[in-house]
Amino acid sequence: MAALVTAAAGIFYRISRTEWFFMAFAFTLVFLMEIINSAIERTADVLKPRIDSYVKEIKDIMAGAVMLSAAMCLVAGLVIFLPYIFGGL
C-alpha cells in the first residue's frame, strides 16, 4: 500500500528518472528482504519445528533486517519528497 501511495506521489510531483530509480530500488530492497525473511523462517521451522531459542533469534535478526530496509526506504522517500512538499528545501 505504501508503495502505491508513494508511486502516486511520484506521478503527482513529477519526480525525475533518477528519483524514480532510487524509489524503485528502495521498494525492491524491502520486498527482497521480506522474501528472504520468509524463506529463512520457513527453513528454520522445518529444521527445528519445536520452539528453540536459536530459531527465535534467527527470526528476530531477520525481522530486524526487514525493519532496517523499511527504515531506509522511508529515509529515501523523505529525501525525494520533502523538497517537493516544502518547495525546494
pLDDT at 25: 95
* 3-state SS class at 14: coil
Collect all residues with Cβ–Cβ distance below 8 Å to 80 and sequence separation of at least 6. 10, 15, 19, 22, 23
Cβ atoms of 48 and 55 closer than 8 Å = yes
Closest residue by Cα to residue 76 from 64, 68, 88: 68
pTM, 2 dp:
0.80
Q: Which domains does the chain have, with CATH numbers?
A: 2-85 (1.10.287.3610)
pLDDT in tens, 30-81: 999 999 999 998 998 888 777 778 888 888 999 999 999 999 999 999 999 9
pLDDT at 55: 86
pLDDT at 2: 87
